[in-house]
Structure 1
Amino acid sequence: MRHLRLLWIPAVIVVMALAARWWWMHRQQAMSAATEDPAIASMLKDPGVIAKGRYLAIAGDCVSCHTAQGGQPYAGGRLLPTPFGNIPAPNITPDAETGLGDWRFEDFWRALHTGIGRHDELLYPAFSYTSFTKVSREDAIAIFAYLQSLPPVHHLGRPLGLSFPYNIRSALTAWRAVYFKPGVYQTDPKQSASWNRGAYLVLGLGHCNECHAARGTWGGIVTQAPLSGGEIPTQEWYAPDLSTQANGGLQGWSAQDIVDVLKTGQSSKGVALGPMADVVASSTQYLRDDDLQAIADYLKSLPARPQLVAQPSALNSKSVADHGGDIYAQRCADCHGKDGEGVPGVYPPLDGNATVVEPTGINATRAVLLGGFAPVTAGNPRPYSMPPYAQQLSDADVAAVVTYIRQAWSNHAAPVLERDVIKYRHTPID
């Protein structure tokens, strides 16, 4: 019995050590919350720094994730869906109890740059620190200054919607070892200032790779080719490859086409739909022209892509081809043209359209079923929209017409099957 009693001694020591560590950590946090670096504290109150931070927060589209539908801007509450469950976006207004009111800049920098929270917790990568790590310290100070200038909103967050084992944050250690490499963006001296600015915005603050790249089973980006396209998890949209070179998703796009679609939601090559329409509406339409040009300069430099296995130009059968062509002639040709050429500035072309020929067929299918709604922007305040056809067309009809446009004219994309249409018909818009 004496030996059994002695077994309690190591347990007590461990508990005491953990308690001491907890007390010390929270004491340090309490002290640090009240001792912002004087130089940084001065910057946080500078109107010029705050204005810069507002612009950068818009460029990073922070409001989209950190605002619940109908809620106060930046007050959190929106559920971010992932294949592993829902993750609530936190309140980032300066409310002392539920937001960032007690945070120092160093807390914010650590979260942005390393993906580690104020209480040493590993942050889930639904917060795109895998891209935000590239943001410079100077820009991070400006963003924090802007967030601290907002009216505080008291808004308690929702509980984490992850089940075991995904709710164990320590498991992220292995994920981070494979998928996360912290580091501020390093300028490439061989490239122009505009190119470097574009790369910084695209790869860092704009976190474009978070959507426009393929992900593996555990949610990490699995391709070595940046911006080479990928299906957006849980949203049932495909973010296209952004290369404008041979076999790229934007093959044939000019720099002006890129600028136009980011500024107005529409270009001579196509329109922004789905999640990208939201990005244009809340973020890119407000960027300066020089930043939009910088983004275009960087995207224009992306390399050519490997040629995909050629898809047969013929449809599965002549009857499907005839059926899809008939539907197109009856319901689509008046706007998009007999040869898929569209109407400049009004209706997008379908011939060579990135939305039409992306690898999966998701985007065109969903546009036919649910309609196509370009964003409302200052440059295009009354965009034309495409009506939904989910009630007018059967699954077989949709498969036929989408397959037709994906293989008509110069398009040579894979056919869409009826079973795919059934799946996307019952997928929510967002």
Structure 2
Amino acid sequence: MSRAIRVWIVPAVLLAGALTVTAVMTTGGGERPAGVDKRADPASAERVERGRYLARVGNCTGCHTEPGGEPLAGGLALETDFGTFRTPNITPDGSTGIGDWSREQFRDAMLRGQRADGAPLYPACPYPSFTHTRVEDIDAIHAWIQSIDPVTHETRDHDLDFPYGIRGLVNVWQWAFFQPASLDNAGDRDEQWHRGRYLVEGLGHCSECHRDRGTFGAVREAVDAPGGMIHGWYAPSLNSPDEAGLQQWSTAEAADFLRSGKGNDSAMVGPMAGVVFDSLQYLRPDDARAMAEYLRALPTAEIEASGYRPRPSPETVKAMMERGERLYGRDCADCHGDAGEGDDGVAALAGNRAVTMENPANIVRMIRRGGFPASTPGNPYPHGMPPFQQYGDRDIASVATYIRQSWGNEAPPVSTIGLAE
């Protein structure tokens, strides 16, 4: 059966399932079947160390650690259109973590989206990407997790809207949208490209954030799909040189950007700063170059409109530009320069892709909440931006519009519509 036909019947199946499913599976880790000895194959120190590195590539700590919590002990809240997911404890604690999971059960979770008790994992866990990972790398990550100190920490259940809290319906989602599979071999590409593809599309799971999701939460596969929204931030498309695409950079520049979080015209802030801090800064130089080469080779596309479509009148835009110029001169020019040129490590605003993207969510978020890049060896003393909480929606829209339409920038104006959080 084709995927298109599967997707067409999903709404009917979900509705039927919501009316007929009488037993809701629990959100705990489940019990390991008797007779499985997870210590039967003791891991070598080399395997454990490799697993530690691969877990960093996959940013396990970033997702499975709540603010102020113990690493990997879970509890991080993930706000989505379907409700709030909370990441589980994946330390080797036997009662609240995955200490009782065998190597085979860990493989099932990472490669097939199945928990130790046989229940399906919600796709908030990026197993649709992890499924491309080699078994030996999954085993190495499991070996590393089993080597760390266990943390007893009971995490809260997911808080999902109806009918998404019925875990049994995830079986229908997996049937329609998930196909466990390794990556196809592209014989005409070199070894470095293949390694980069493996890291980006597999453990790095970049598409899980940098592509929009459809009605039922599956990542859209179209090359011209927009990026995704993450905690109020826009994760720009990797296929657009006007957004996050690295197609116009050299491999060396792109690799340095991944590891340092600082590029030619901007630094990574928001959720991506956390990814740099917890994951990308630890990339081996050869892996950073491989990821950079693959990202640079992605096909380019004109990205679909984001749905944010302000239509202020020319008179309104003129008034916003005048107000924005006054506010910028008073509050912004000392750091960013009179002409948006930046200074001494402060990001330039003129010609900055993060400023001129069609979707203005990130610049609005920066003005309202501030933002701080990750401190890395390649950017040890990053310049952060304080929040301008004294600004109302009109001020934010005016400053954002002024920045997006000055010094050669040509981006749509920002309306006050949709700015409230």
- TM more than 0.5: yes
Contact 2:247 2:297 in 1 (8 A): no
Q: TM-score, normalised by structure 2?
A: 0.85
Structure-2 separation of matches of 1:362 and 1:62 = 26
Report deviation, 1:192.
Answer: 1.5
Residues 1:315 and 1:331: Cα distance change in structure 2 (over 3 Å) = farther
Structure-2 separation of matches of 1:382 and 1:274 = 17
Give 5+ residue unaligned stretches, structure 1. Answer: 1-25
Letter paired with 2:144: Y
Structure-2 separation of matches of 1:151 and 1:283 = 20
Q: Which secondary structure state, in structure 2, belongs to the residue aligned with residue 81 of structure 1? A: strand
Report deviation, 1:35.
Answer: 6.7
Structure-1 separation of matches of 2:365 and 2:31 = 53
Structure-2 separation of matches of 1:288 and 1:340 = 34
Q: Which of 275, 280, 284 is 1:284 aligned to?
A: 280
> What CA RMSD, in Å, does the superposition of the two structures yield over aligned residues?
2.6
Structure-2 separation of matches of 1:351 and 1:371 = 19
Confirm whether residue 412 of structure 1 aligns to residue 417 of structure 2: no
Q: Deviations over 1:26-48 (max 9, x none)?
A: 999212x2276x5xx14xx2000
Letter paired with 1:169: R
Contact 2:111 2:132 in 1 (8 A): yes
Identity across the alignment (%):
41
Report deviation, 1:159.
Answer: 2.0
The equivalent of 2:266 in structure 1 is: 270
Structure-1 separation of matches of 2:256 and 2:315 = 34
Contact 1:66 1:75 in 2 (8 A): yes
Report deviation, 1:214.
Answer: 0.7
Structure-1 separation of matches of 2:88 and 2:31 = 24
Q: Which of 16, 30, 37 is 1:34 aligned to?
A: 37
Residues 1:118 and 1:289: Cα distance change in structure 2 (over 3 Å) = same
Letter paired with 1:354: R
Structure-2 separation of matches of 1:49 and 1:279 = 24
Which structure carries more relative contact order (alpha carbon 8 Å, separation 6+)?
2
Could you say which structure has the larger radius of gyration? 1
Contact 1:257 1:269 in 2 (8 A): no
Contact 1:240 1:354 in 2 (8 A): no
Report deviation, 1:81.
Answer: 2.3
Report deviation, 1:190.
Answer: 1.1
The equivalent of 1:321 in structure 2 is: 321
Q: Which secondary structure state, in structure 2, belongs to the residue aligned with residue 178 of structure 1? A: helix
Aligned length: 388
The equivalent of 2:129 in structure 1 is: 131
User: Which structure: greater helix fraction?
Assistant: 1
Contact 2:93 2:151 in 1 (8 A): yes
Structure-2 separation of matches of 1:384 and 1:28 = 48
The equivalent of 2:339 in structure 1 is: 339
Q: Which secondary structure state, in structure 2, belongs to the residue aligned with residue 385 of structure 1? A: coil
Confirm whether residue 231 of structure 1 aligns to residue 228 of structure 2: yes
Report deviation, 1:249.
Answer: 4.8
Residues 1:268 and 1:93: Cα distance change in structure 2 (over 3 Å) = same
Residues 1:288 and 1:126: Cα distance change in structure 2 (over 3 Å) = same
Contact 1:371 1:386 in 2 (8 A): yes
The equivalent of 1:365 in structure 2 is: 364
Report deviation, 1:114.
Answer: 0.6
Q: Report runs of 4+ in structure 1 exceeding 6 Å deviation.
A: 307-312
Contact 2:38 2:101 in 1 (8 A): no
Residues 1:65 and 1:317: Cα distance change in structure 2 (over 3 Å) = closer
Report deviation, 1:77.
Answer: 2.2
Structure-2 separation of matches of 1:251 and 1:325 = 33
Structure-1 separation of matches of 2:280 and 2:156 = 29
Report deviation, 1:311.
Answer: 11
Structure-2 separation of matches of 1:209 and 1:106 = 26
